[in-house]
Amino acid sequence: MAATILDGKRLAQQIQAELTEEVAEFIENNGVDPTLAAVLVGTDPASEVYIRNKRTACEGVGIESRLHRLPADVSQDELLALVTRLNKAKDEPVHGVLIQLPLPSHIDAGRILQAISPLKDVDCFHPENVGRMVQGHPRFLPCTPAGIQQLLLRNRIEVAGRRVVVVGRSETVGKPLAIMLMNRGPGADATVTVCHSRTVDLPSVTREADVLIVAIGKPRFITAEMVKPGAAVVDVGIHRTDRGLCGDVDFESVQEVAGQITPVPGGVGPLTVAMLLENTLRAAREQELAR
């Protein structure tokens, strides 16, 4: 029997409908629009698409979106100066600051991300916000891991006490997700194993997973023989190939083994954007409360 499809697009629409009501209430109570400032450096086609999708989603829930376009040859100091201005914006409040990655090679992305005020760091990249998350007291949650956690929670996929295997140890997905899943609370309390390129006999580890989350950046890397029958499989990857879009999981074969599986596209991606909106509203609430 084929796996149940975990429809991230439909779930993201549900979350955004909830946020629309919350944003309207916030505006009515505070007289200010939650505002996200996005910074796009250069004209990378994929980045253009991502920024357009994020701005459209903001408009859909009532969040104001401001786009700052900079040329690909902008200096690091100029970019830092813009971040400083956005951090200090008060007359026209900016509640969240988003730097679209990747940045050109002559710019130190880590330095730019750390320059964003932790109160406006809606991607949750700043060391202060990462530290709060590790301690179990997050200000924000990183968008893609938070989207995955919501996917599991809202589809009633239990992780407490179960074996979760995360394939990939990136700073944006694998590491923070593993921490979130092993923290205490709803959608957590899991027994987590993180695998990577140096893992010995990877298939033997992935076959033990009740929940298998794949963010390794290799198209169709996870095949049916690497999956425990009945497991929930979450595919974070997205790749353009000669056969069209695909993820890190060989969907056609794995769906015959798994109990639940995310499609690509339409799985994790839309939820990442929904969590960005949620973080922006949360940032606005905290900042307006402190005014």
Q: CA 126, 127, 128 angle in degrees (round to 5)?
A: 90
Is residue 91 predicted with pLDDT exceeding 70? no
Give 164-179 pLDDT, tens digit per residue: 999 999 999 999 999 9
In terms of Cα–Cα distance, which of 192, 189, 62, 54 is closest to 123?
54
Average of pLDDT values for 237-252?
94
How many Cβ atoms from other residues are within 10 Å of residue 110's Cβ? 12
Q: How confident is the model at residue 209 (pLDDT cuts 50, 70, 90)?
A: very high
Residue type, 258: A
Listed by start position, the domains of the chain span 31-117, 143-268
Query: Phi-psi bin for 81: left (phi > 0), alpha (psi -120 to 50), beta?
Result: alpha
Distance from C-alpha of 203 to C-alpha of 51, rounded to nearest angstrom: 36
Distance from C-alpha of 259 to C-alpha of 150, rounded to nearest angstrom: 18
User: Hey, which residues are catalytic here?
Assistant: 54, 100, 123
Distance from C-alpha of 193 to C-alpha of 205, rounded to nearest angstrom: 8
CA 193 distance to own-chain centroid? 20
- Does the domain made of 143-268 have the CATH classification 2.40.40.20? no
Is residue 39 predicted with pLDDT exceeding 70? yes
Q: Structure pTM?
A: 0.95
Handedness of CA 169, 175, 179, 181 (dihedral sign): negative
Q: How confident is the model at residue 239 (pLDDT cuts 50, 70, 90)?
A: very high
Fold (topology level) of 31-117 = Rossmann fold (3.40.50)
Average of pLDDT values for 30-40?
96
Q: How confident is the model at residue 149 (pLDDT cuts 50, 70, 90)?
A: very high
Average of pLDDT values for 70-94?
92
Percent of the chain residues past pLDDT 70, beyond the cut: 99
Q: How confident is the model at residue 289 (pLDDT cuts 50, 70, 90)?
A: confident
Q: Do the domains 143-268 and 31-117 match in fold?
A: yes
